[in-house]
Amino acid sequence: MNQARLGMMLAQRTTYLKRYDANQHYGKIKEIAMTANNIRIFETEEVQNFINLLSGLEQDGGNPRTKQIIHRVVSDLFKTIEDLEISSDEYWAAIAYLNQLGTSHEAGLLSPGLGFDHFLDMRMDAIDAALGIENPTPRTIEGPLYVAGAPVAQGFARMDDGSDPNGHTLILHGTIYAADGQPLPNAQVEIWHANTKGFYSHFDPTGEQQPFNMRRTIMTDAQGQYRVQTILPAGYGCPPEGPTQQLLNQLGRHGNRPAHIHFFVSADGHRKLTTQINVAGDPYTYDDFAYATREGLVVDAIEHTDAAAIQANGVEGPFAEMVFDLRLSRLVDGVDNHVVDRPRLQA
Ligand code: FE
């Protein structure tokens, strides 16, 4: 729309306002709204200059990358406001929502819920495909609940402290393979997962768990193997009254995750692998609100009740066994091109 037409429409709106009287109130409000809906100002020089100004493009100093990103994001949002005729009420509801999201520390939960975490993985996969790099063990999202500094063990670790009254023993083990297909000794396998209430140590609102409960770092043995004794985790959902679930409700979506176990695997000469396995059979295995499920990452939990297996595994009764091997990919031109440096809790 050109400036002349915009001026004409604004003049029309002024005329409506002048003609306004009490009897015509609602009709006129409606007419004014209809006029406003046709207003297109985004492409005008005035608005484009304004976006340049607020993004600091006309200022020295600051961070050029930040300026570039803010310019793009604000432009896209201004255009969204115009295209979708976002009302002031809707806009201010969104601002209040952002404040609530921050106060509740749920930005890291909304992020996978709206698929951003998975989208970043999809982009990394596409970059790998373009470079001809295969990932025999798929990457998937880290989630917001990793804590650095877990106790380190050689080959085997007991991960749970035995305090979860509903805990069902799980023996989880596998081999880490190098990019050349050989078992990889001394690889660092970081594992973390939730308890039977779906809560993680350091983030447990009940305060029941000790620090680093169900968080361990295992160095693979001479055969490249890792092994842990722990308990089967439960799936979990977003806090039901929180802002993430509030938005998901508006989308008609649930906020549940299937039972899963997180991994970071690192080794010299290889890229760090961030992934998770889902316990097969969970009702949400293929309906994860965080979109972390991928083919190759769903693992059966095999139940063992026979005395020989119980004794051989050094456990006290029936237990579940999950076997999961992970295959690393080599560095790209000597660097890990996908390593993610993000704020993480260090305990
Ligand atoms: Fe998780």
- Beta carbons of 17 and 32 less than 8 angstroms apart: yes
b vs e for 131-151, b when ≥16 Cβ sit within 10 Å of the residue's Cβ? eebebebebbbbbbbbbeebe
Question: DSSP letters of 62-106?
Answer: S-HHHHHHHHHHHHHHHHHHHHTT--HHHHHHHHHHHHHHHHTT-
Q: How many CB atoms lie under 10 A from the CB of residue 330?
A: 13
- Beta carbons of 293 and 258 less than 8 angstroms apart: yes
Which CATH superfamily groups domain 111-346? Aromatic compound dioxygenase (2.60.130.10)
CA of 259 from ligand 1 middle (Å) equals 8
CA of 260 from ligand 1 middle (Å) equals 6
Q: Tens of pLDDT along 15-29? A: 555 555 555 677 777
CA of 216 from ligand 1 middle (Å) equals 15
| The two structure tokens encoding residue 313 | 């595994």
Q: How far apart are the first and last CA of the chain?
A: 57
CA of 143 from ligand 1 middle (Å) equals 6
Q: Tens of pLDDT along 38-56? A: 789 999 999 999 999 999 9
CA of 318 from ligand 1 middle (Å) equals 25
Residue ranges in 148-288 assigned as alpha helix (H): 243-250
- Tens of pLDDT, residue by residue, the chain (347 residues): 455 665 555 555 555 555 555 556 777 777 777 776 678 999 999 999 999 999 999 999 999 999 999 999 999 999 999 999 999 999 999 999 999 999 999 999 999 999 999 999 999 999 999 999 999 999 999 999 999 999 999 999 999 999 999 999 999 999 999 999 999 999 999 999 999 999 999 999 999 999 999 999 999 999 999 999 999 999 999 999 999 999 999 999 999 999 999 999 999 999 999 999 999 999 999 999 999 999 999 999 999 999 999 999 999 999 999 999 999 999 999 999 999 999 999 99
DSSP summary character for residue 188: E
Output the pLDDT for position 1: 47
CA of 3 from ligand 1 middle (Å) equals 53
CA of 221 from ligand 1 middle (Å) equals 26
CA of 193 from ligand 1 middle (Å) equals 6
- Which sequence spans correspond to the domains of the chain? 3-108, 111-346
CA of 240 from ligand 1 middle (Å) equals 17
CA of 31 from ligand 1 middle (Å) equals 51
Residues in Cβ contact with 56 at an 8 Å cutoff, skipping those fewer than 6 apart: 62, 66, 67, 70
277/113 Cα distance (integer angstroms): 18
CA of 99 from ligand 1 middle (Å) equals 24
